[in-house]
Amino acid sequence: MRTEVLTIDSLCPNPVAITRAVEVLRSGGLVAFPTETVYGLGADARNAAAVRAIFAAKGRPSNNPLIVHVADATGARLLTTFWNDAAEQLAARFWPGPLTLVLPRGNIVPDAVTAGGSTVAVRVPAHPVTLALLRAAALPVAAPSANRAGSLSPTLAAHVLASLDGRFDLLLDGGSTARGVESTVVDMTTHPPRLLRPGPIALADLKRVIGPINRGGAATDDRDAPLPSPGMSRRHYAPRTRLECVERNGEARVQLLRKEGHKVGWLALADVAAIPSVRVIAMPLEPAAYAARLYAALHELDAASLDVIVVSLPPRTDEWLTIHDRLSRAAAD
Ligand code: TXA
Ligand code: MG
């Protein structure tokens, strides 16, 4: 299959490109598009065959359910059998935005989307391209991140092509994604609700709106168990190159590895002095800016044929929760 690529203005999406994407979705094809978090690989969520094609393209285990993207809260409600006050309040406050709500699944959602489970994850993305596409297509779009299963999420069209070129129909290239990490996922079917995946919307901000929320469940590596949340497997969002996280600055570790003859990359915090023959990327010291840059930096280091990437960990405070979550999964064996 040849993957068609159309450039699209991310602020003012070209209607011709949107029309082409709608055509592909309506005919059961796969479209990769930018969202405010990462690029997604989408299909008509009502079409089980199209949804199965997403799993095939990604090499994704079929027990990993997908998020369904809709244009507004009304569209989300149509996919569930029970829409409670808390869901209403979170939707009103954070949609469109990087928040995914897990709710009891309605009948129009096929098993392929939910991995046979009784719940469905829904989100209204805050990207002009995604919203234009969802409105024009007038259908719910199931979309995981547009990368091979288990690997780094894409924040640029080039990342999508490097991972999946030739495995899907159309890519809308809208440049880099603003948030850079995947949406916050909250399970609204438990009391109190449960944070399944930390993300751009902070736990504290969710709690301010609906009160108590439990922190996620245990990570699982049991491949046959229905996953409470695939993002909770211990290794996920990982580069191919070995990743080593170090508390504090990490320069000593980088120097040691280099002296031992390893080819080293260093994801450093803020500006550090250059080290001969070491690929250094200086990351911002602010969590949102760090998140926006994280996957692109890891993609870049991963492409540099290194033996190891040393990551200087940010502070262990709540505002860095999402970054620690993604880094620890990327570093897991
Ligand atoms: O920001 C995002 O969420 C991106 C963009 C494309 O929207 N999508 C994304 O999808 O990250 P994916 O497939 O890579 O991650 C799906 C996550 C899982 O880790 C899991 O937490 C959750 O969605 N999920 C989906 N359906 C679920 C369900 N029924 N119950 C619990 N968790 C579910
Ligand atoms: Mg993913």
Per residue in 17-57, pLDDT tens? 999 999 999 999 999 999 999 999 999 999 999 999 999 99
pLDDT of residue 60: 95
The residue whose CA is least distant from atom 22 of ligand 1 is 229
Here the tokens at position 320 are: 């860095």
DSSP 3-state assignment of 63? coil
The number of beta carbons lying within 10 Å of the beta carbon of residue 137 is 21
- Residue type, position 43, single letter: A
pLDDT of residue 231: 54
- Cβ proximity of 255 and 234 under 8 Å: no
The number of beta carbons lying within 10 Å of the beta carbon of residue 6 is 17
Query: Distance from the CA of 222 to the center of ligand 1, in angstroms?
Result: 18
Ranges of the chain with pLDDT below 50: 218-226
Query: Distance from the CA of 79 to the center of ligand 2, in angstroms?
Result: 21
Nearest atom (ligand 1) to Cα of 146? 6
Q: Which helix (H) or strand (E) is 161 found in, with range? A: helix 157-164
Here the tokens at position 211 are: 């009160």
pLDDT of residue 241: 95
pLDDT of residue 232: 58
Q: Give the ligand at the shortest distance from the Cα of 181.
A: 1
Which whole-number Å values give the CA distances from 15 to 9, 12, 71, in the listed order?
Answer: 10, 9, 17
pLDDT of residue 1: 93
- As a dihedral over the C-alpha atoms of residue 56, residue 58, residue 64, residue 68, rounded to 10 degrees, the angle is -90
The residue whose CA is least distant from atom 21 of ligand 1 is 229
The residue whose CA is least distant from atom 23 of ligand 1 is 67
Q: Give the ligand at the shortest distance from the Cα of 197.
A: 1
pLDDT of residue 194: 96
- Cβ proximity of 293 and 179 under 8 Å: no
Instruction: Give the single-character DSSP code of 304.
Output: T
Q: Within 6 Å (CB) of ligand 1, which residues are found?
A: 35, 37-38, 40, 65-67, 98, 100, 102, 114, 117, 119-121, 123, 125, 143-145, 182-183, 185, 196-197, 229-231
pLDDT of residue 229: 60
pLDDT of residue 271: 82
pLDDT of residue 300: 97
pLDDT of residue 217: 56
Query: Distance from the CA of 331 to the center of ligand 1, in angstroms?
Result: 20
Query: Distance from the CA of 125 to the center of ligand 2, in angstroms?
Result: 15
Residues 215 and 233: their CA atoms lie apart, in Å, by: 15
pTM of the entire structure? 0.94
Here the tokens at position 142 are: 């199931």
pLDDT of residue 219: 46
- Cβ proximity of 298 and 330 under 8 Å: yes
pLDDT of residue 162: 96
Residues 154 and 173: their CA atoms lie apart, in Å, by: 12
The residue whose CA is least distant from atom 31 of ligand 1 is 229
Query: Distance from the CA of 280 to the center of ligand 2, in angstroms?
Result: 26
- Residue type, position 190, single letter: T
Q: Which helix (H) or strand (E) is 58 found in, with range? A: helix 48-58
The residue whose CA is least distant from atom 20 of ligand 1 is 229
Here the tokens at position 148 are: 């091979």
